[in-house]
Chain A
Amino acid sequence: MTTPVLRKPRSTWTPGQIALTIVAAALSLIWVAPLAWALSTSLKTPTESVTSPHWIPDHFTLDSWDKVFEAGNIPNWFVNSVVVSVCVTVIVLLVASLAGYGFARTEFRGKSALLALTMAGLMFSPAILGVPLFTTVQSLGMVDTYWGMILPQCAPAAMVYILYKFFQSLPKELEEAAFIDGAGRWRIFFTIVLPLSKPSLSAVGIFTFIASWNNFIWPYMVTNNPDLMTMPNGIATVQNAFGIVWPQLMAGGLIAGLPLIIVFVFFQSQIVRGVAHTGLAGQ
C-alpha cells in the first residue's frame, strides 16, 4: 500500500487524522443513508412506510421481501439479468481481446482505417442512436429476444481500445520464443497472451459486467415482454397491480442492487483496480 505513513513510531491518531476520520465518517454516513433508508422502508408494513419518517421500523416484517419473491416477476427478471450480463461479459471478453490483439500485434490491409473506425465508435451509444439501432434490431427479428438484448452490447469500442493499449505494452519476446518452439498464432494467443493479460481482462470483464447488469436504456428499448425484462428495466416499467407499495419497491430495488454490492465487498481491491484501470485507459 502506498499509505503515507510518515512518522511510524508515533501514534497514527494525530489530531489531523482524527479530524479527517471524522469528516470521512460523516460523508460516508450521508452516502450510505439512502441505502439504509431503503432497507428500513423495505422492513416496514406498507401503512407504516407512509407515516412520518423514522429509521427503526415499529414492526419488523419481511413481508415485502416475501411478496416480491413470490408474486412478482422479480425472480424471473433476476435470471434474465444474469443470463444477459454473463453472455455479454463472455462475448465482450472474447471479441475485444481478439480484436485488441489483432490491432496490437498483427498486420493486415486496412488496419489503420479499421482502427480509426473503432475509435470513432467511442462516440456512439444506444442513448444517442437508440431509434435507428432499434429499427436495425427489429429488422433482424430480434426485438424481445435475449440475443436482441445481448448482441448490441457486445461491440464496445472502448474495451477494444483498452486491450489494444495493453497488448501493445506486453513484451514481444515471449510470443517470439513460443513461435520458435512451433506454436501457431492462435495457440500463442490463447496459451501465452491471455494468461499474461489476466489483470486487464478481469478489469474489462468486471466493468462490462457492471455496465451490463445496470444497463437500462437498451433493454428498455428492445424488450416489451415482461417475461424477458432484466431487473432494472422490469423495476422501472412494470407496475405492481396494487399500486405503489414503497416497501416492495425498495425490497425489489435492493434485490437488484445487492448482488453487485456484495461482490464488491468481497473483491473490493480487484474491482477498484479494474474500474480505475479501464477509466484511466482513456487518459
Chain B
Amino acid sequence: MGQPGLNRRQLLGAAGGLAVAASFGFAALGSGADALASSARTRVRYWNLFSGGDGGNMVAMVDAFHKANPDVAVKASTLTWGGPYYTKLAMAAAGNRAPDLAVMHQGRVPGFAPGRLLDPWDMDLLTKYGVREADFNPVLWKRGIVDGKLYALPLDIHVQLNFYRKDVCEKAGLLDADGRLPAATSPDDWFEILKAAKGQLKKGQQTLGLHANDQNFSWWFFVAFYQQLGGTYFNDDQTQVTFDTDKATQVLEFLRKNVTEGYVTVGAADGEAFIAGSPFTWEGNWSVPYFNGEKIAYGAQPLPPVFGTPATHAESHSFVLPHQADRGGAANEGAHMLAAYMVKHATAWAGGGHVPAYLPTFKDPAYLKLTPQNEYSRPAMEHPATEPHIWFAGSTGVLAQRIGPVVAASNVGSAKPDAAARRMKSELRKLLAAKNPMDGRTAAQELKGAGA
C-alpha cells in the first residue's frame, strides 16, 4: 500500500477515535441527546398511550398548553398501548426514573400500588390551577381516591359502542323517524337486525365487526352483557367468587352465535370493513375520529341491551403522578399545571369520542354539537359496566390477560361456552386467592386493611 492508503487509514482511524471518544463522552454525561438539546427551562416529562385519533388530539392539546404556558416545555412520549405501557411505567417508577406525569386507566390504579409506584396529587396545587372536585363526575372522582388521597385525576370515560352505517340500515328499513337505530332489546331482536342488514350486502362482506379473536375486546363485550344480566364477580368482602356460570354461558352463547350465524368474519380488519360498507362494528368510542375522517354516514350507540338492562363496558383515562423519590419543584408543578389544563379543556379531547369527566364541558355548545357523541354520551355515562374494582382488574390488567383469551376462545369456537364459563370461574378463584405482589395481601385482606 502506498502513501495515500496510509493517509486514508489515518483519517479512518481519527474518525473512529473521535466516534469512540464522543460515545464515551455521551455515556459519561448519562443523558440522551435530546435532553442535552433542550434548553434549561422547566421540562415536564409526560407519558401516554394514545395513538391514532386520540394521539393527534393529545398532541394538539399539549401544543395548545405550551402556547398558553411558554415557560413549560412538555416532552410527551407515546408508548405502545396496553401491557407494554404499564410495564414501562412500573419499571420506571420502581427504578426511580419515572416521568413527571402519566396517563393511566382508572381500573389499573388499585393494582399500581398507590403510595409506592404512584404519588398522590397535591390538592393545593390543583386548586391553584383551577381543579375543583365539584366540577367532576362524582363516581369517577371518588374512584381515584385511595386512603383519603387523590391518586387519579379523571379525564374521561370511554365506552364500547355499536357503530352502525346509516346508509345500509336505511336501505334495510331499520332506522326510526329520527334516522337512528332503535336499540335491540333481546338476542332475537338483535339477530333480526343483523339478518335484515345482511340482505343488503355483497357476498363476502361481514355484517358485524366483533373483534371475536381479540382478548381485550372479547373481555370488554363480555363485561357489558354480563352486567346486563346482573351478574357479579365477587362478594362485597372479596372473599368469595360469586361468578354465575349460567349467566356467563348465556353471554358467551350470544357472542358465539354472532359468529356461527355467519355475521362475523373472524380475523377481519373490523374498522376498515366498516368503512368499506359493513353495516355494524363494535368498537371503542376512540374510533369516532377515524370514522369521522372517512365521511361516512354512521351512528353510534351503547352496546344493545339484549338482556334487558342497558349497560356497556366503560373504562376511564386519568392522570397520575408516577412515584419519584424527590417529587417536587418546577417539574412537579408543571405536571399539575399540565394535567389541570387538559382535564379542563375536555372539549378538544371529546373530539376523540371520549365522554369528558369534567362536567362543565357538557354546557359547552361546541361539545353538544359533536356527532355521534350526542347520541351515546349520556346513555353510556348513565349505564357503565366496569370491571370489578380490585387490584388485578383494569384495562389490559392481569384479569383481562387471564380471562380475555377464554372469551375469545369461546367466540372462535375452540372452547364450548359452558366450559369456557367454568374456566373463567376457576381463573377468578385463582386470582382472588392470589396475593397482590405489591403488598403481599389478597384482595380481601386489602379491603379489610389487614396486614400480610
**B127 lies within 8 A of chain A by Cβ:** no
**B186 lies within 8 A of chain A by Cβ:** no
* Bound Cα distance A146, B50 (Å): 27
CB-contact partner of A86 in B19, B53, B56, under 8 A: B19
Q: Give the interface segment out of B79-87, B361-369, B444-452.
A: B79-87
**B134 lies within 8 A of chain A by Cβ:** no
Within 8 A of A (CB), among B84-125: 84, 88-89, 91-92, 94-97, 99
**A225 lies within 8 A of chain B by Cβ:** yes
**B51 lies within 8 A of chain A by Cβ:** yes
- Closest B residue to A89 using CB positions: B20
**B77 lies within 8 A of chain A by Cβ:** yes
- Closest A residue to B23 using CB positions: A86
B24: chain A residues within 8 A (beta carbon): 86-87, 90
Interface residues on B, range: 35 or more
A84: chain B residues within 8 A (beta carbon): 23, 27
Q: Is the CB of B32 within 8 A of A76?
A: yes
B77: chain A residues within 8 A (beta carbon): 225-226, 238
Question: Interface majority SS on B: helix, strand, loop or mixed?
Answer: helix
Assuming the contacts A76-B32, A225-B32, asked whether A242 and B52 have C-beta atoms less than 8 A apart, the reply is: yes
Within 8 A of B (CB), among A79-125: 79-80, 82-84, 86-87, 90
**A278 lies within 8 A of chain B by Cβ:** no
Question: Which of A134, A147, A225 has the most chain B CB within a 10 Å cutoff?
Answer: A225
How many positions in chain A have a CB within 8 Å of any CB in the partner chain?
35
B53: chain A residues within 8 A (beta carbon): 243
* Bound Cα distance A146, B33 (Å): 11
Q: Give the interface segment out of A137-145, A171-179, A182-190, A251-259.
A: A137-145
Q: Is the CB of B27 within 8 A of A144?
A: no
Contact string against A for B residues 47-61, beta-carbon threshold 8 Å, 1 for contact and 0 otherwise: 001111101101100
Q: Is the CB of A79 within 8 A of B97?
A: no
- B50 CB → nearest A CB, Å: 7
Q: Is the CB of A73 within 8 A of B34?
A: yes
- B94 CB → nearest A CB, Å: 7
* Bound Cα distance A241, B352 (Å): 13
CB-contact partner of B80 in A144, A221, A237, under 8 A: A237
CB-contact partner of A146 in B27, B51, B95, B99, under 8 A: B27
Assuming the contacts A224-B88, A224-B91, A237-B88, asked whether A76 and B33 have C-beta atoms less than 8 A apart, the reply is: yes
Question: Which of B27, B56, B59, B94 has the most chain A CB within a 10 Å cutoff?
Answer: B27
- B284 CB → nearest A CB, Å: 14
- B93 CB → nearest A CB, Å: 9
**B78 lies within 8 A of chain A by Cβ:** yes
* Bound Cα distance A140, B22 (Å): 24
Q: List 8 A-B contacts (CB under 8 A).
A: A82-B23, A90-B20, A143-B91, A144-B95, A146-B27, A236-B80, A238-B79, A242-B51
Query: A-B pairs with the 6 shortest C-beta distances?
Result: A143-B95, A241-B55, A227-B32, A144-B97, A224-B92, A86-B23
